[in-house]
Structure 1
Amino acid sequence: MKWNKYTIKTSTEAEDLVSGMLLELGIEGIEIEDNVPLSEEDKKTMFIDILPILPPDEGVGYVSFYLDDGEDNEGMLVKVRAELDELRSFAEIGEGSITESQTEDKDWINNWKEFFKTFEVDDIVIRPSWEKTDESHQGKIVIQIDPGTAFGTGMHETTQLCIRQLKKYVNSDTRLLDVGCGSGILSIIGLKLGAAEALGTDIDPNAITATYENIEVNHVPADRFRVLTGNVIEDTALQEEVGLEKYDVVVANILADIIIPLSEVVSRFLKKGGIYITSGIINTKEEAVVKAIKENGLEILEITRQGEWVSVTARKN
């Protein structure tokens, strides 16, 4: 199926107004493009560490929407133009022009799957549900992961760095805390490595859903794992619920800008002698992360690297 794409050239200040107008007309699937830099709050919410280099923001934004080729497009465009004229009477909406193009229908939900293939991290096999286990995987730990709408297939260097550190420090007595658990991959691997129990936290409800689905398909007993939603760095009530001085290992595969403030509170969760495994650290921020961990009384045990990414492992003495 082909879709007609219509793009309104507007001002960045009017993007929300134009988007709201389209929603009120029953149009869904709206896209916004501009060169407005992300705020610090945006970066924390979206976990963005490496920002794209954008041209200067000139106050111009583009709001796009799609209409089925079989719909009454002309009738809808008449309504859109009328609403734009109405907005123009009380707000600066910029040019307000509409350009048209066509795009092929795509299965956006599932097309990413062609890039996620079975792979191995040492003796651990990570495979999606749509691929079968190979005979060569016999005797290895096989983890089935479907990321869904949550980040975390295990293919990224940062996840692999964490996996290798978990193999070093997890044993049958380990209580594991996975901060920013995503798809739950690190928790599941920790449990498959023999950890007694694990708890995951994430600010994204989609991550919680994906994690529980992956826990089920990997046959992890419900009494050995649970997931909580919220910001464990700032929410003291959540910290109490997670448990204080309870964990042998805390793993955080997030980003440097999150790991730094997490390092200020992680000792609250760790037992004495507990291990703090971090990754998601681009090499240009290694020094800042190491500094934050040391300043909060933790001893650096090991720094490992893969590509441009860094993992720092520390201990609470």
Structure 2
Amino acid sequence: MKWMKVAIETTTEAVDFISNLFDELGLEGIQIEDNVPISEEDKKAMFLDETEETEIVLGEDDGTAVVSSYVDPKTDMDKLVLSIKEGLEEIGLFVNIGKGTISVEETDDKDWIDNWKEYFKPFRVADDIVIKPTWEQLEEKKEDDIVIEIDPGTAFGTGAHETTRLCIDGLREYLTDQTRLLDIGCGSGILSIIGLKLGASYAVGTDIDPAAIKAVYENMKVNGIKEDSFKIYSGNIIEEKELQESVGINQYDIVVANILADVIIPLSGEIGQHIKPGGLFITSGIINTKKEEVEQALIQNGFEILKINEMKDWVSFITKVKC
């Protein structure tokens, strides 16, 4: 199958903002190319040897980057490019976007569905949690390590992004062996699987992308998650009454949502009914320019802000349902 590749020449400073724009426009499979050296901390986390480091870090960091994504060729490309241009103009008010040039070209699906796997290596998201691609070997493992095997397929969620790490930190702090967990926008199922590995008693995931269903069940199997401890639904929980009823009312100790700010805002008006009194709503996927907007929505919809955690340009709210 042929796909249309959309690429923007920009700066490393603007990468997160443009990635967020792509998410808002419904573009998936985002690819970032830059020459930013891998930090010593990242090297330790990613299990890289010298050869792999040399292959990944190319050239001298000049502050430039290319952000790309792929869309169905039936997409109205003129309309999409116009939306990207408008988004870049807004982003340019906050950060230097560099050239900001947009290119569109046709490509084969094999060029983007599989090639990214070359750069997805085992890495640590916490002192004792390692994310390992299913096709990679884990050379180093500590005795108390929790190893999560992931093949996201075409669903979102490798665990490498700051937003996912923020959610993991929140789960780590508040989850117990009695926790019933609801994962909104579960993607590959990574947060639910980590929650269950950390001791949660039961997890439910929802995602609007049908590809997530297959990815989740495959990742459950490879991680030894029993089918009776994790259930997934496909659909939009904000809009679909039947899905809301299937998920259940006042059922969950923790709801986690690693999505976009523009989804979390309306979600905050719906999700409270699924949480037990005094339960928690942990959100991430929020670019820092949307922080105040999301905070206002959470407060207006009856949530008490317990903590605001930040990592680079991303924000996570840990909130509590007021009794």
TM-score w.r.t. the length of structure 1 is: 0.70
Q: How does 1:17-56 map to 2 (within 5 A)?
A: 30=73, 34-37=77-80, 51-53=87-89
1:273 aligns to what? Answer: 278
Q: Work out the number of aligned pairs and report it.
A: 239
Q: Are 1:134 and 2:139 an aligned pair? A: yes
User: Of residues 292, 299, 306 in structure 2, which corresponds to 1:294?
Assistant: 299
Paired-residue identity, %: 55
Instruction: Give yes or no for contact 1:248–1:271 (8 Å, CA) kept in 2.
Output: yes
- Amino acid paired to 2:203: A
- Amino acid paired to 1:109: I
Deviations 1:274-313 (A, max 9, x none): 0000000000000010100000111000000001000001
1:157 aligns to what? Answer: 162
Q: How does 1:111-260 map to 2 (within 5 A)?
A: 111-122=115-126, 123-260=128-265
Deviations 1:209-255 (A, max 9, x none): 11111011000011000100111011111111000000000000000
- Amino acid paired to 1:220: I
1:216/1:283 CA distance change after superposition, 3 Å = same
1:65/1:258 CA distance change after superposition, 3 Å = closer
Q: Partners of 1:229 and 1:31 in 2: how far apart? A: 24
1:109 aligns to what? Answer: 113
Q: Partners of 1:33 and 1:233 in 2: how far apart? A: 27
Deviations 1:167-189 (A, max 9, x none): 01111000000000000000000
- Amino acid paired to 1:36: K
TM-score w.r.t. the length of structure 2 is: 0.68
What do you get for the CA RMSD once the two structures are aligned? 2.8
Instruction: Give yes or no for contact 1:270–1:316 (8 Å, CA) kept in 2.
Output: yes
- Amino acid paired to 1:258: V
Q: Partners of 1:310 and 1:65 in 2: how far apart? A: 35
SS state at 2:112 partner: coil
Deviation at 1:108?
3.3
SS state at 2:232 partner: strand
SS state at 1:187 partner: helix
Deviation at 1:107?
4.2
2:67 aligns to what? Answer: none
- Amino acid paired to 1:229: S
1:113/1:234 CA distance change after superposition, 3 Å = same
Q: Partners of 1:316 and 1:33 in 2: how far apart? A: 42
Deviation at 1:137?
3.4
Residue ranges of structure 1 left out of the alignment (5+ in a row)? 6-28, 55-61, 67-102
Deviations 1:50-103 (A, max 9, x none): 94459xxxxxxx99768xxxxxxxxxxxxxxxxxxxxxxxxxxxxxxxxxxxx9
- Amino acid paired to 1:255: L
Q: Partners of 2:106 and 2:299 in 1: how far apart? A: 50
- Amino acid paired to 1:151: F
1:53/1:34 CA distance change after superposition, 3 Å = farther
Q: Partners of 2:142 and 2:289 in 1: how far apart? A: 37
* Higher Rg of the two aligned structures: 1
Residue ranges of structure 2 left out of the alignment (5+ in a row)? 5-71, 91-102
Q: Partners of 2:282 and 2:245 in 1: how far apart? A: 21
Deviation at 1:116?
1.1
SS state at 1:108 partner: helix
1:110/1:238 CA distance change after superposition, 3 Å = same
- Amino acid paired to 2:134: S
1:108/1:175 CA distance change after superposition, 3 Å = same
1:32/1:296 CA distance change after superposition, 3 Å = closer
Deviation at 1:139?
1.3
